[in-house]
Chain A
Amino acid sequence: MINFKLLNSILVLFLTFASFAYGNDYIQEEQFVNKFADQAIEILSNEDIAENDKTSRFTELVMNSIDLNLVSKFVLSKAWKNSTDDQKERYLIAFKEYFINSYANKLDQYSGEKIQVVGSEAAGKYIIVDSNIVREGTDTLKVNLKWRLINRDADIKIIDLNIEGISLVIAQREEFQSFLANNDNDIEKLIDKIITVSK
């Protein structure tokens, strides 16, 4: 009933296309992602440490791996330029709290997912490492995750995560822009809101 020859040729065709998708490899950056994922999974899957401890260890890893200063400025976009130094400093502190709060107390939801790096390519000033989040025990339920990295003299930092085509940093930026547009472009209101939500 099923023509297996046809199926096989479709399969071969499919795999050929898949292997052409990536040419350039940025080994350093791929290793960075693998190392980050290994360390993160080690913390997340450790049943012996308390929830609070888990969050602080995870935060330490994240803060060492991400350029949060750059991300903070990027999501604020034009409003950054128009802010006073005092506002900038208070905003950076508030955004860091908000950022940590976004994953704190949720780390116990980890259920054995793994990161498989599948390739890398240059994108302007950045390198994008392409990977899949794979759930243990299934090979068909995959979530695509792209890491936007910046490499300054071998000092690699994360700039953005893109999940199934959705850039988290761009989403955050659009959210802040929308809030400012609806609140007289007042950065003070944004800072207050960020602090309220983080509580």
Chain B
Amino acid sequence: MKYRILIVLFLSSVLVLQGCASKEASVNDSNSETEIVSVNDPLEKVNRVIFQFNIIFDKLILRPIAITYKAIVPEFLRNRITYSLNNLGMPITAVNNLLQGELAKAGVSTSRFIINSTVGVLGFFDPASSIGLESENEDFGQTLSVWGVPSGPYLVLPFLGPSNPRDFTGLLSTSLLDPMYQIGGGSASDSQRLYRMGTGAVDFRSQNIEILDDLQDNSIDYYAAVRSFYSQGRESQASNNLENNTKTQENDIFDDFDIDESYVGPDIEIIYD
């Protein structure tokens, strides 16, 4: 047990130190000419291969399971499972609220877990939200981001999909820091973790069948689309906890684009009617 916590501490300290180092470097860089925000994906070639593998895995296994699940389990039950998965994640959120120094939010997350596990029948219902106790899921990847750790290059993991060194460390640490795991000990917590991982994957996939099919069919570059969605989504989740959020970065991208069209050269206008 101590060994595990040591690993977490080690991994986070390495990342935090790297974060400090790269922050300094980027300050120097920003003095040079303004650069167009580029995608951090030096391992693109390898990533694309793993991405293709994941697509095949999804096509052959995950997607069929998700479709069957959606077809045979009524919506009411599926919603109960979504809620119960959220509830099982609440202790992790509470721990991360604490690690981020958000005491009030940790209180909300803990209250949610207690209320929904009892009044909400093992988390299958969400009475806490109806009395205004709402909280967003927080994972250790987001905590690392609050601590100033940069995401690092984009990574595609076999089976697990889009990630980066920060989120992958977060993913490993989340299961080690999970209070449910620490309290349970032994086989009970293992089966619970398997329930969360397996059911979580099917639950997520079944909620996104049309969206992902659609994205795949209509993409100019499916790999790049997923990469953009993942990176933007994670950055904005992380920036919910930060003052210098990605909103400004996004605004800069749009502001770089001159409305008076001088940037784009001779103008072709098509009249849409």
Q: B-contacting residues of A (Cβ < 8 Å)?
A: 1-2, 6-7, 10-11, 13-15, 63, 68-70, 73-74, 77-78, 80-81, 85, 88-89, 92-93, 96, 98, 101-102, 106, 109, 123-126, 139-140, 148, 150, 159-160, 162, 164-167, 170-171, 174-179, 182, 190, 193-194, 197
A73 CA to B247 CA in the complex, in Å?
22
Q: How far is the CB of B110 from chain A (nearest CB, A)?
A: 10
Q: Which 9 A-B pairs have the closest CB atoms?
A: A165-B236, A178-B224, A171-B228, A124-B255, A174-B228, A140-B129, A63-B272, A179-B221, A88-B268
Contact between chains at B268 and A89 (CB < 8 Å): yes
Contact between chains at B131 and A11 (CB < 8 Å): yes
A36 CA to B132 CA in the complex, in Å?
30
A150 CA to B251 CA in the complex, in Å?
13
Contact between chains at A68 and B221 (CB < 8 Å): no
Contact between chains at B232 and A167 (CB < 8 Å): yes
Closest B residue to A70 using CB positions: B259
Contact between chains at A150 and B270 (CB < 8 Å): no
Contact between chains at A170 and B104 (CB < 8 Å): no
Contact between chains at A159 and B254 (CB < 8 Å): yes
Q: How far is the CB of B210 from chain A (nearest CB, A)?
A: 7
A182 CA to B227 CA in the complex, in Å?
15
Closest A residue to B223 using CB positions: A178
What secondary structure prevails in chain B residues at the interface with A?
helix
Residues of A contacting B266 with CB < 8 Å? 85
Partner of A194, one of B133, B220, B254: B220
Contact between chains at A125 and B255 (CB < 8 Å): yes
Residues of A contacting B233 with CB < 8 Å? 164-166
What secondary structure prevails in chain A residues at the interface with B?
helix
Q: How far is the CB of B87 from chain A (nearest CB, A)?
A: 13
A114 CA to B223 CA in the complex, in Å?
31
Q: 8 new A-B pairs (CB below 8 Å) besides A96-B272, A109-B210? A: A11-B131, A14-B134, A81-B264, A89-B268, A89-B270, A92-B268, A140-B129, A167-B232
Given contacts A14-B132, A85-B266, contact A164 B236 (CB under 8 A): yes
Q: How far is the CB of B86 from chain A (nearest CB, A)?
A: 10
Within 8 A of A (CB), among B208-230: 210, 214, 217-221, 223-225, 227-229
Question: What number of residue pairs across chains A and B have CB atoms under 8 A from each other?
Answer: 135
Partner of B115, one of A2, A96, A162, A171: A2
A63 CA to B272 CA in the complex, in Å?
7
Residues of A contacting B221 with CB < 8 Å? 175-176, 178-179, 182
Contact between chains at A150 and B259 (CB < 8 Å): yes
Contact between chains at B268 and A175 (CB < 8 Å): no
Q: How far is the CB of B223 from chain A (nearest CB, A)?
A: 7
Q: A-contacting residues of B (Cβ < 8 Å)?
A: 36, 39, 104, 107-108, 111, 114-115, 118, 126, 129-134, 210, 214, 217-221, 223-225, 227-229, 232-233, 235-237, 239, 246-247, 250-255, 257, 259, 261, 263-266, 268-270, 272-273
Partner of A7, one of B133, B219, B220, B247: B133
A119 CA to B239 CA in the complex, in Å?
19
Contact between chains at A126 and B224 (CB < 8 Å): no
Closest A residue to B224 using CB positions: A178
Closest B residue to A106 using CB positions: B214
Q: How far is the CB of B156 from chain A (nearest CB, A)?
A: 14
Partner of A125, one of B114, B133, B259, B263: B259
Residues of A contacting B115 with CB < 8 Å? 2
A85 CA to B126 CA in the complex, in Å?
57
Q: How far is the CB of A168 from chain B (nearest CB, A)?
A: 10
Residues of A contacting B251 with CB < 8 Å? 123-124, 126
A166 CA to B200 CA in the complex, in Å?
22
